A and B are shown apart, each in its own frame.
Chain A
Amino acid sequence: EVQLVESGGGLVQPGGSLRLSCAASGFTFSSYWMHWVRQAPGKGLVWVSRINSDGSSTSYADSVKGRFTISRDNAKNTLYLQMNSLRAEDTAVYYCARANSGWTDWGQGTLVTVSS
């Protein structure tokens, strides 16, 4: 069974940093592109970033470019999102998702709250 489990969310002050993790199991992690998608409270889904299967290629939404860094450790079956210079508008539930003809599998999400 495919499982994606996010962790690392919490309360952080504006300008602060946080690193999210997504532990994957039940599939060959190193074979799949992975994505981060976020959802602000009561709002819609917003794509954040993606990374290819070996980590050599990444893309970011304009709203996070230069502040967020996506990475992966295929030996540990783990996806990461390093978030720096956090702003109030980054407050959201962050989901990791596996790309397999669409985002077929999602984690349960981890809440990031940026507030003083």
Chain B
Amino acid sequence: QSVLTQPPSASGTPGQRVTISCSGSSSNIGTNTVNWYQQLPGTAPKLLIYSNNQRPSGVPDRFSGSKSGTSASLAISGLQSEDEADYYCAAWDDSLNGWVFGGGTKLTVL
């Protein structure tokens, strides 16, 4: 049972826009920023979004993040086949005094 809640799966067709949600509480997302990670099959995770909505250099602007209250979202526009991966949200939790992740969302490009 993960502290942050994500849908286990999402899907879309090439060119579509998909959104992945991440729900938390006042001790994590409600007071701290959210990061998003992409994990392609068999590889290490990669930072996709930090501080709720900032993209590291090299990450396409098709990826965007937002946060409102105790929830956050990752949006992927212009979906491509190479976007098929697992996506994780993460935030610091003040109550647990540690980082917490969502359970991950498996994105399928149909």
How distant is the Cα of A107 from the Cα of B47 in the complex, in angstroms? 13
Q: Say whether A41 faces chain B, with CB atoms less than 8 Å apart.
A: no
Q: Say whether B45 faces chain A, with CB atoms less than 8 Å apart.
A: yes
How distant is the Cα of A109 from the Cα of B101 in the complex, in angstroms? 18
16 chain-A/chain-B pairs, Cβ below 8 angstroms = A35-B99, A44-B2, A44-B104, A45-B39, A45-B101, A47-B90, A47-B101, A60-B98, A62-B96, A101-B51, A102-B51, A103-B47, A104-B56, A106-B44, A106-B45, A108-B44
- List 19 additional contacts besides A62-B96, A106-B46; criterion CB under 8 Å: A35-B99, A44-B2, A44-B88, A44-B101, A44-B102, A45-B37, A45-B90, A46-B101, A47-B90, A62-B98, A95-B44, A101-B54, A101-B56, A102-B35, A102-B49, A102-B50, A103-B37, A104-B47, A109-B44
Q: Give the dominant DSSP class at A's interface.
A: strand
How many A residues have CB within 8 A of the partner chain? 20
**Nearest CB in chain B: distance from A95 CB, A:** 6
Interface residues of A (CB under 8 A from B): 35, 37, 44-47, 50, 59-62, 95, 101-104, 106-109
Q: Give the dominant DSSP class at B's interface.
A: strand
Taking a contact as CB atoms under 8 Å apart, the answer to whether B56 and A102 are in contact is yes
The residues in B between 52 and 77 inclusive whose CB is less than 8 angstroms from any CB of A are: 54, 56
Q: Which B residue's beta carbon lies closest to that of A46?
A: B101
